[in-house]
Structure 1
């Protein structure tokens, strides 16, 4: 549980409990969509799943579970976070991390850059079964103080539940929830610093 100590230590240092603030939004997304909803936090060059709530739909994807880590650029949360880092940091990350060694050619630099560009265009990221075929995810970036990405809200489910016709509605819900959560995190930190 070293990851938990590190994350809780980071949260304490930042003077707000990110899990407690994110939990209602994770629950809301699960209830609203029927899918599994997740909040992942940035930890160095990775995202770490801190919270998960399953919706009512009986078939679930279990790629993301509490405590699992993935490098930035992998899974929808990692794409959502990486997309909104400064270009210089994206270039540095991609120059120093070969994601294909572990995750295959769908994680080659040109593929990652295409996903980052698409995420910047529509605001949310899509993982179309790049880790486990048939297991899809969508995520929206959560921003902390200074508009820096601190994590992402994610919806995961099976491919048939995340087809193109449903994506705009799910994406809009993710963006609205991530925006509100970002505002709450920023407000909470300001109040604690008074």
Structure 2
């Protein structure tokens, strides 16, 4: 029996995101199914249908699946509307140069943030928690915290009602603790992640807003704990807010 459309659409989305996580080597049907949270027969059936449309590709020798050529063509058509990395790259470069830390630009996609741009600074010790393409729930890491802190209270309540971050990200990401960091972010304007993902790896971020004043992305810095001591945080926060404001103006 053909699958109902409401079931197929989220499953296809999960498969495409799983394939993105497998790039550039691609992934086996078993691996892709596991990443997408689907049964292997279901994943294979959907992947085969997507391959017929050119949306995914399969290497005949290894049987590994990867994103297909049609996705590239569709993405290039959408780039003029959604690609803001060109504007953000200069801001990331400036932050990395001025601070010596690793700088990032991440965008919100649904309940997640996706890192699009990374540039390392001159300081030899670096944090490798974030990289281009990584997806994290909003509220996790400094970029996601900066974004969620500037959402209306109603949207925050709805997000926390449907999302439990604690099982995957630890007790520090339980709703009460997250709300405390949201409140602190609203006071300073910038978010601070005090080594909550990896011990000793700190991050700070400031939100970037679209034409409607919605926080859609963030600029962030990460580095070792000693580089984010209390007396330096206002300096880094000020730089982040300055560049985030400038990028907001460009995007508007």
Q: Distance in 1 between matches of 2:194 and 2:206?
A: 15
Q: Hey, what does 2:245 align to over in structure 1?
A: 179
Q: State the SS of the aligned residue for 2:160.
A: helix
Q: Hey, what does 1:116 align to over in structure 2?
A: 182
Is the 8 Å Cα contact of residues 11 and 18 (structure 1) preserved in structure 2? no
Gaps of 5+ in 2: 1-14, 21-70
* Alignment partner of 1:37 is 2:103: yes
Identify which of 127, 130, 133 aligns with 2:193: 127
Q: Which has the higher contact order (CA 8 A, sep 6+)?
A: 1
* Alignment partner of 1:97 is 2:163: yes
Larger Rg: 2
* Alignment partner of 1:71 is 2:141: no
Q: Distance in 2 between matches of 1:60 and 1:128?
A: 15
Cα deviation for residue 15 of structure 1 reads 1.9
Q: Hey, what does 1:50 align to over in structure 2?
A: 116
Q: Hey, what does 1:151 align to over in structure 2?
A: 217
**Closer, same or farther: CA 162–13 of 1 in aligned 2, 3 Å:** same
The count of aligned residue pairs is: 185
Calculate the aligned-residue CA RMSD, in Å: 2.0
Q: Distance in 2 between matches of 1:33 and 1:13?
A: 30
Cα deviation for residue 150 of structure 1 reads 1.0
* Alignment partner of 1:17 is 2:91: no
Runs of at least 4 residues off by over 4 Å: 1-6, 8-11
Q: Hey, what does 2:128 align to over in structure 1?
A: 62
Q: State the SS of the aligned residue for 2:186.
A: helix
Q: Distance in 2 between matches of 1:13 and 1:175?
A: 26
Cα deviation for residue 14 of structure 1 reads 7.0
Gaps of 5+ in 1: 187-194
| TM-score (norm: length of structure 1) | 0.90
Q: Distance in 2 between matches of 1:36 and 1:92?
A: 32
